Structure 1
Amino acid sequence: MSDAYMSTPSLTSEQRAVVDQPANALVVVTAGAGAGKTHTLVRRLDRLVAAEDLSAGEILVLTFSRAAVRELSGRLVRHGEAARNVRARTFDSWALELLTQVDAAGDWPSKSFEARIRGAQQVIDDGLADDLYEDLRHVVIDEVQDLVGDRRELVEVLLERFDCGFTVVGDSAQAIYGFTVKDPDQRAGETNRFFDWLRATFQEDLVELSLTENFRARSEEARIALGHGARLRSLAEAGEDKDEADYKELRSTLEQALSFGELDRDFAAAALNEYEGSTAVLCRTNGQALVVSERLHEIGVPHRLQRSAQDRAVPAWIGLLMRQCESSLVSRSRFDELLVELPVPEGATPDELWRLLGGSGRVRGNGLDLGRLRAAISTGGLPDELTAQPPARLVVSSFHRAKGLEFDRVLVVDPGPLPSPAEAEKMGRVVDPAEEARLLYVAMTRPRDELWRLEALEKQNIRLDKATGRWGRFHYQRWMRKGIEIIGGDVRTEQPAGTHDFEADPIEVQKYLVTEVRPGDEVVLERLHTTAIGLQESPPYLVVHNGRPIGVTSDRFHGQLYRHLKLGRGYEPERWPRAVTGIRVDAMETVAGSEAAGANAGLGPYGVWLAPRLFGLGHFIWDKADQEEDAGVEAR
């Protein structure tokens, strides 16, 4: 064993069988929860480079989330030898890069995730990517059980178009993204469809292997759900449409876990703050995760809310770096000097950060080209490793967003019984009992040591708003709205804070953002006007931190708030909340806006500065007259 692997486990015979396949092999690996999949893939990539003589540019590695990219890339840097320069990417970032290379004028950054996936599929199918990938020799894809709809079709076209080997890894017992296919009939046929396509397309050339041993769970309580995996896997592979029995069995298993009770101040704060390992609180929906996050803030428990896989945030240190550079080209020595004073990710090395920032031709000669770096920020072209959320000791997440993650201790919020068909229709949901069982299985197989059960949350008035796709606070009176979810992109980034809708020294605002604003801090959205300026939008709102404006809401938020408050086709909102409370700072992010506005504000020539990224399930505060009118209507 080489020095790079001295601190890692030896390969099992199952893992060795995967690692030792030749570069032209067509390999599909069924890997159960905690089966050492990432460790196996790192060793597989190392062998492809060292023993099969592939270069990093001849290997394409795709996965679903930035967290998975960060984990795989970190393992390659720490433990990889020959393959440490192989780059893993999410489907979204790879599709965007491909489309930008083939059709730079297509304005792909402004289009939706689904549109980019479909666009990349069409580009490959039409042969427009043939020259770009003429040297492609091996494709590695993680979590292939979740390839459904457009993403499945993209990967099928990719593997058929290029004559190369592949290693695809997945577990049908953890297939949980069927819900992204909106058509119920089509959704029913997506489970295990990619595995069926592989077998039909490549037939006897396909090498099928399995990883069955669990390395994650280190205690009996952490292994409590593992026994359900074989049945869920067999049902998914058989395509059988079962009733609620498997979901009920898994929920009964969850009830055997130790109860954490409720998130009350006396016990929960101490139990969560004093635990030395990593903890996750997992919820069935993002709406429940927002409620849990709110309660944790109330009892003084610092934590991080898990973002979606497509939610990109460029870290603040990149913008601060660009602000301090004296020329458009930054030498490596100057780069290293500046990094010493910047809030770079813990454990990141100058070599690693230079490599990530300088990718895709952003290093010109001996220097980092800030103009090209600025373009990558504005188009979403930075590597996933740079835009992934940093690690946290306590994470609150939905079941879906926790996929692929693991923690020392996991608290699963009891998802309760499945809704009846009538209840599901009222909520606008299509309930698939088999997928719900797999989803609960995923949540219950995240812990290394401890699995706890949290009592079901009261969520009667927290619902997904069909008009906006955001979670909202509702009232039993249909016409009343009590709050709306705040998400990334709700703060204006086209101009620096202090130059639009409120006047302040932009340089001082930037300094305040760096020195005084921290993740988890509470902010208030305060209405600037009582009436909207444009059609089909709300008035703008100031983002206020400890009494000081630090930003203003975006046009997108104004349109979303309008739609949230528009109760019907013939109704036009005339009243707007005076304030929205319960909002928190997720992170300080680097944004790219108007270069002219940035230069005029004294923030440099690149149109790059910092802005707060917000989250939370807000509470509406209405003017007194509006509250009295609502009370009168309710009384009648």
Structure 2
Amino acid sequence: MVGRQVAHGEPADTLLAGLDPEQLAAVRAPRGPVCVLAGAGTGKTRTIVHRVAQLIHSGHVAPGQVLAVTFTARAAGEMRTRLRGLGVHGAQARTFHAAALRQLRYFWPRVVGGPQWDLLDGKLRIVSQAAHRAGVGTESEVLRDLATEIEWAKASLVAPDDYVAEAGRAGRASPAPAEQVASVYRWYESLKAKANLLDFDDLLLHTAAALDEHAAVAEEFRDRYRCFVVDEYQDVTPLQQRVLDAWLGDRDDLTVVGDANQTIYSFAGASPRPLLGFTRRFPHAAVVRLERDYRSTPEVVSLANRVIGAARDRPAGSRLKLVGQRESGPEPSFAEFEDEPTEAAAVARRIGELIDAGTPASEIAVLYRVNAQSEAYEQALSELDIPYLVRGGERFFARVEVRQAMAALRTAAGSAPTGELPKVVRELLEPLGLSPEPPAGGAARERWESLLALVELAEELASHVEGADLAQYVVELDVRARAQHPPTVEGVTLASLHAAKGLEWDAVFLVGLVEGTMPIQHADGNDAAVEEERRLLYVGVTRARRHLALSWSLSRGDGNRRPRRRSRFLYGLIPEEHPTARLTRARRAGGAATGPAAAARCRVCGAALINAVATKLGRCATCPADLDEELLARLREWRAKRARALKVPAYVVFTDATLMAIAEQRPADASALVSIAGIGATKLDKFGSEVLALLRPGV
């Protein structure tokens, strides 16, 4: 048998060993159409590759007749590796675009003729030329949004002449009037064709056209490939479905695997409809549901089920209920903070504790909704000397808009503008895109978020340093930019929820879970968009294997009084007996909160401490301080020497507020020292003995 030769004669029971009953049913399903509804962590990749190996082993298909497609090169590579591990060689596992490129290159001489067109590496140059001819602005974020709209249109099979009507029907938040976007789209296609260039969407369009319009090409292709597997089928676009239909012809040897609960790319044209409608298209299809979760603890699984279970009008095909298979672990934690810096500092301290307890930094992730949220966590982790890497986006100070803003601020600082620092910074950033109200979405919204974060840094500096001016602020920005750790494989992962799809970690921190961010502001008022935001949170929860922490803060910056509310998705998730729930009830009743979630109290007057500096000092800013000025001077001198030796800014060793807290509280031992906010186990190990030596009498 063909399969036995490819699989080195392994017996069938070897290919079926270790599969649970549902996985086994999917692997052994008949050759015809099969739909596998696979929840997060249920072993879908294992099921796919064992199914392919079983089909080959049973003689239903030769290895070279299999084409498996997925959405990322990483997933395709993992599939190929696992197939080789089962003795399967020759089966194709590729992304949609990679498969189409290979086919188009092979058939090009017959369907087009002449030299093959080059593949466009990045479309912004052509989009810029098209925008210029259409009379649309060519700012970088506008070009990125125009490129995104063109990608959505092509993925949705929308031609330039149909864009206005279809964009309106889909409720697209276009970066320019729809008629102008359509004009840019037309010019883009014209300029690209004139230069004999193809973009990635053209690969799919031309491949489908070659098979639809050339019978000989279709016959040769369909004779070569007999069996198709599609992973992450909930993310298929109309264009990808058209290519798949062209591949299949009138055949039905198709296995699809997906989870409608993880549909999070509707903005790019993806739709779960083909997955949910699979049995209508193929009434005789075998349907298998994978619900045993091998990734996460039962506690994490339970929370995930409650997140997605609150969704409205869930289609039948999306009603998977995960069942945790791992041993029990800690309950997910919930925490509310007064401001983002305090939230970030608390998360960083907890990360340090996990690392000290043996969790590798690379097995920890901080996940957020928008990339601009990363800066607070980059800073907090840097202060604790915890390495990190930013996935799926540039580090904050490397972003184009941040670099442009810093250049403008640096130039303005030379003229010494007067006024309150936050107001000065806001006025300087307004010409760069910091409008009073946030844009609807896309690159313009990301730019706005980054610029707003710079204003909030100005507010933070102004609250800490009396009379802070623009020159001091620019110096602070430069220091922060230089202090960031370079990306390292062993670092904590900082990523957006979208970038986290398909990944998993031992410990996950879901941060910034407030209204306007989760769900994102521009989703409000659109039920479908809000439900996609809920699915995005579900994806975040299901990335965690063991430790899961969810947090939010009531204001953006230290001393900032703009009130915020925790995400609507959290209601019903927080246990009634949890301190955070008690805090919320007490706040609504106008009473004081108690328990661990209550705010820290001033050691002088007993009032609640509401910002990071006051929390570090352990007292209100207006309460009298028992400060040892000589000790503070010694601590500052020691810090300067250590910072020079380590080649880092002084605040990376200890912030001014932490030194003041040490000089006021004069801790006598390590346990007292580590109780000061800002001093975790890592800094205790690194600097504790030196600091305690400075505190001894006579030093």
Higher share in strand: 1
Q: Which has the larger radius of gyration?
A: 2
Higher share in helix: 2
TM-score, with length taken from structure 1: 0.48
TM-score, with length taken from structure 2: 0.44
